[in-house]
Amino acid sequence: MAFDLKKGILITFEGPEGSGKSTHIRKLATYLRGKGRRVLVTREPGGTALAKSFRRILLETGDGLSPLAELLLYEADRAQHVAETLRPALRKGWTVLCDRYTDSTVAYQGYGRGLDVTTIRELNAVASGGLTPALTILLDVPAARGLKQAGRHKRGHDRLEKAGLAFHKRVRAGFLKLAANEPKRFRLVIQQPDARDTQKLIRRVIDKFL
């Protein structure tokens, strides 16, 4: 079940590593607040106090995790995130900008890790309680360039970034396939050489949508 647009709106940002999601979400939040909107910025994993421990395991310390265990941790994180953060904000009429959501699980654990995509979709539906985004912005960047950019913006690479170029090429292909299959929900924004130009494209999409 999708949420009532009159009460709130969920906009998700997806994309390969190094696509600039976090940076552009922050800039967009400032832009929307300037227009008088109440905006909540959140992310998966880690969008609740409890989920911060999941994030550490998934991205930092969980080197021995099996693909299935990894998937189930992401779904546990999502269930808590939806219950504690997303639904309450949407009921209050907030515009919620979420850095990664169910599509990332399909792209990373499905196309990337090779787990069954149908099973992942079923688990996504259970964990999210059927809460679907009104709009998903896919920020696209070639895998090799994205990994290089991700490494420049932090100390070293996290677990997913260390998975190798072939893995990240599969993830990117997965995202593009998801966008092609749901053109009404997805908007593809190709990363530009100048981040300001990328942000302009994002704002153009958002202004038209809202």
Which tens digit of pLDDT belongs to each residue from 78-128?
A: 999 999 999 999 999 999 999 999 999 999 999 999 999 999 999 999 999
At 146 the pLDDT is 85
- Provide CB contacts within 8 A for 120, sequence distance 6+: 71, 105, 106, 109, 110
Please report, as a single letter, which amino acid is at residue 119: T
If DSSP codes are grouped into helix, strand and coil, which group holds residue 43? strand
Residue 5's pLDDT band (boundaries 50, 70, 90)?
A: very low
CA–CA separation, 90 vs 78, rounded Å?
Answer: 16
Spatial strand order of the sheet with 135-140 comes to: 39-43, 95-99, 9-14, 135-140, 186-190
pLDDT greater at residue 68 or residue 56: 68
Which tens digit of pLDDT belongs to each residue from 183-206?
A: 999 999 999 999 999 999 999 999
pTM of the model: 0.89
Which tens digit of pLDDT belongs to each residue from 13-26?
A: 999 998 999 999 99
Confidence check: pLDDT of 159 > 90: no
- Residue 150 contacts residue 17 (beta carbons within 8 Å): yes
Q: Does domain 9-209 have CATH number 3.50.50.60?
A: no
At 3 the pLDDT is 39
> Rounded to 5 degrees, what angle do the CA atoms 81, 122, 118 make?
130
Cα 89 to Cα 52, 116, 136, 170, 201: the distances in Å are 19, 32, 18, 34, 26
Structure tokens at 160: 């997913």
Structure tokens at 113: 């890790």
